[in-house]
Structure 1
Amino acid sequence: MSLPPAPARLLGADGQPLLGRYAGQTGQIDWTGLAPPFAHGALWRRLHHKRWHYVALCTERVFCGVAIVDLGWTSTAFAYAFDRNDGDMLANFSADGRLGRRGRVADHSGGASYFESAKGRIALEPSGAASFSLSVACDYLEIDAEFGPPNAPLLLAVGAVAGGAVHSTQKSSGMPLTGEVRTWREEYDLAGGVASFDYSNGLLARNTAWRWASAHTLDMGFNLQAGYFGANENALWLDGQVHALAPARFLYDAKDPLSTWHIFTEDDLLELHFTPEGARRDNRKKLVAATRFLQPVGTFTGWVRGTPDEPKRIVTQMMGVTEDHRSRW
């Protein structure tokens, strides 16, 4: 179904969040004015406010994933480069900010986000109308990339969260990509590739879990999630439009996550099989926080369509990721 245009703000005059799915860019996201039953005190908001900005870069030869995460009380970041020809993870950077010293995630998806530690630096900045520059400098990996603008509207999703309060996310369609990735072994030209981003900002539960899938070309793309946010962010980009999708089912062997995944939506608009080629893993347990993160990189094959009466569009080896993520934060 077609989506209404995104509101400029996510809270109405009565302090209630404007729950729903929209097409387009919203403005600054500020949860301080939330009214009951979503309202909480300042300390609760500080501890439960989570923001992240994730960028995927994909060419025929290399796939990179880069993320900056603001946990409210500290920050973390990662960046990796995966060689598609031989299945090697060429670089896998991760670092935490010091307690009380945070990287910055923008207060809307069109803003600047950055992270810096003794181990490395990441900067994501707007560079013109709906375009971005991304810079990564860490051991064994440097990225200088430019991408945008998208040829289809952003998805905006706003929804209530059990155990938390309310969450919002903006997902992009595929965007033209240029630049370079430099690793210890080789340099990769990003020209002709595709970028996409996931910007999320909300008041989440102490324990949060999800499964996720995302892949894009310049003409087609999808974002699927099952977990804490329900079906709110499930979407398909096709023919320059963004379409809402029903709940998604993820069928895979959790004991062997690099075997084939079967993913479909309950509205009969998407059915895909995902073949992993490698994965980024991160399992950490600390005194106040823990995470179990698995992000396989691989290809999707199957079909999609914008409405039940449209013919199926074939998807053949579209590069992207799935994810199985659990956090106590």
Structure 2
Amino acid sequence: MSSYQPTLSKAPTDLIQANGQPAFGLFDGSVAHFNLQNFVYHNLMDKKANALARYFHYKQFQFICITGPDWLLAVAIADIRYANSGFAYLYSFDTNQAISKGVLLPGALGCQMSDSPSKGEARQQFNRYKVAIKTTPTDWQLQIDTKVFKADLTLTKAEQIPLALCAPTGYNGFTYTEKSNALKVSGKLELQGKSLDLTQALAGYDFSAGFMRRQTSWRWSSINALVEGQAFGLNMAAGVNETGLCENALWWDGQIQHLSPACFEFDRKNDKAPWHISSLCGEVQLEFTPLYCRQEKVNIGLLASNFRQYVGLYSGLVVLHNGTKLQLSAVKGLAEDHYARW
């Protein structure tokens, strides 16, 4: 098994550089300023794109997952310009049931997105469904208010380096992705007025934005859990950021380790079948057993989405840079399979 240790670039102050193009690379920290007004965007025939194209081709989504001792909370807000969507669900491992709420609204109705992963606020509201995500240089703050469950939570991100990268996407676009897993959580989470235990809860976030492919798809794996008594986080993905860069990393006791490209093997026709997830250099060799699936299928002309997010259990082997082998056994986590035309 070979070691995968990519070279990190210093995170730029501004995403868009003096030449009108993004700074590409795998960064050593978050990029705070998304000065998109300076981006020189061209169409597929190398002509300067008009204002409508600049607006509708830009996509953004934010996601938070928090794993507790016997539950998992997942929350998402997505702005795809033609529409915005979001969901929040709370899954119980004891009962194998989830309480799920979601919205799909036209245009920007009821939706506001933040300017960057460390400066701004994203909101989504419709009737009794309210979600807000506030980003700062030191933490992410999540507020949820639905009829059944409520949350006022803080994810502390300042203590570790995130996975942060910007890569070319398609012929003329780019995607910035920032993720961090195994983060400490504080605050309050209530289900039907009863507080849930946060003492061992760990969280991860995902901020992704850019001029993405009109048709795209991805497979994704995520873990926030205690392994051998230490905070362990994993993010692996295939399908979006793979133009010379990949968005794969683990966090072990506060330290990030970048991982080689990921391979996902699974059966779309069988939601109960296990997934096999591995890395090119062999650092990760995991099996994922699905327990619950949140699924949406939308096909309305301009837009289409075939989305499946699974809650389940991971078992297998992860190897650290120093050769230490971590054996995972029934560790709680997520997996996702998604096609989008947007």
Q: Same fold (TM over 0.5)?
A: yes
Paired residues, what number? Answer: 326
Corresponding residue number in structure 2 for 1:180:
188
Corresponding residue number in structure 2 for 1:169:
177
DSSP-derived class of the 1:319 partner = strand
Relative to structure 1, is the Cα distance of residues 115 and 100 closer, same or farther in structure 2, using a 3 angstrom cutoff? closer
Distance (Å, rounded) in 2 between the aligned partners of 1:224 and 1:183 = 30
Cα displacement (A) at 1:158: 0.6
Corresponding residue number in structure 1 for 2:151:
143
Corresponding residue number in structure 2 for 1:74:
83
Corresponding residue number in structure 2 for 1:58:
67
Cα displacement (A) at 1:4: 3.2
DSSP-derived class of the 2:52 partner = helix
Relative to structure 1, is the Cα distance of residues 268 and 37 closer, same or farther in structure 2, using a 3 angstrom cutoff? farther
Alpha-carbon contact 2:260-2:280 (below 8 Å) kept: yes
Distance (Å, rounded) in 2 between the aligned partners of 1:176 and 1:210 = 27
2:23 to 6, 18, 25: 18
Letter in 2 for 1:17: P
2:259 to 227, 239, 245: 245
Distance (Å, rounded) in 2 between the aligned partners of 1:150 and 1:65 = 21
Corresponding residue number in structure 1 for 2:339:
326
1:272 to 264, 286, 303: 286
Distance (Å, rounded) in 1 between the aligned partners of 2:41 and 2:63 = 31
Letter in 1 for 2:18: A
Distance (Å, rounded) in 2 between the aligned partners of 1:10 and 1:150 = 20
Distance (Å, rounded) in 2 between the aligned partners of 1:249 and 1:19 = 24
Relative to structure 1, is the Cα distance of residues 121 and 189 closer, same or farther in structure 2, using a 3 angstrom cutoff? same
Cα displacement (A) at 1:8: 1.5
DSSP-derived class of the 1:142 partner = strand
Letter in 1 for 2:298: R
Alpha-carbon contact 2:8-2:25 (below 8 Å) kept: no
Relative to structure 1, is the Cα distance of residues 117 and 164 closer, same or farther in structure 2, using a 3 angstrom cutoff? farther
Corresponding residue number in structure 2 for 1:224:
236
Alpha-carbon contact 1:300-1:316 (below 8 Å) kept: yes
Relative to structure 1, is the Cα distance of residues 310 and 40 closer, same or farther in structure 2, using a 3 angstrom cutoff? farther
Please identify, of 145-154 and 267-276, the stretch whose mean Cα deviation from structure 2 is larger. Answer: 145-154
Matching of residue 301 in structure 1 with residue 315 in structure 2: yes
Matching of residue 235 in structure 1 with residue 240 in structure 2: no
**1:37-116, aligned counterparts within 5 Å?**
40-89=49-98, 91-110=99-118, 111-116=120-125
| TM-score (structure 2 length as normaliser) | 0.88
Cα displacement (A) at 1:23: 2.2
DSSP-derived class of the 1:174 partner = strand
Relative to structure 1, is the Cα distance of residues 40 and 116 closer, same or farther in structure 2, using a 3 angstrom cutoff? same
Relative to structure 1, is the Cα distance of residues 191 and 62 closer, same or farther in structure 2, using a 3 angstrom cutoff? same
Distance (Å, rounded) in 2 between the aligned partners of 1:33 and 1:102 = 27
Corresponding residue number in structure 1 for 2:272:
258
Corresponding residue number in structure 1 for 2:211:
203
Distance (Å, rounded) in 1 between the aligned partners of 2:55 and 2:335 = 29
Please identify, of 152-161 and 230-239, the stretch whose mean Cα deviation from structure 2 is larger. Answer: 230-239
Deviations 1:163-209 (A, max 9, x none): 55101011013111133333349642323311110001111122111
Distance (Å, rounded) in 2 between the aligned partners of 1:227 and 1:37 = 23
Alpha-carbon contact 2:69-2:200 (below 8 Å) kept: no
Corresponding residue number in structure 2 for 1:8:
13
Cα displacement (A) at 1:136: 0.9
Cα displacement (A) at 1:100: 4.3
Cα displacement (A) at 1:256: 0.9
Cα displacement (A) at 1:258: 2.7
Cα displacement (A) at 1:239: 4.5
User: Percent of counterpart pairs with the same letter?
Assistant: 26
Unaligned runs of 5+ in 2: none
Relative to structure 1, is the Cα distance of residues 163 and 183 closer, same or farther in structure 2, using a 3 angstrom cutoff? farther
Distance (Å, rounded) in 2 between the aligned partners of 1:252 and 1:279 = 14
Distance (Å, rounded) in 1 between the aligned partners of 2:158 and 2:327 = 22
Alpha-carbon contact 1:51-1:71 (below 8 Å) kept: yes
Alpha-carbon contact 1:299-1:318 (below 8 Å) kept: yes
Cα displacement (A) at 1:130: 1.3
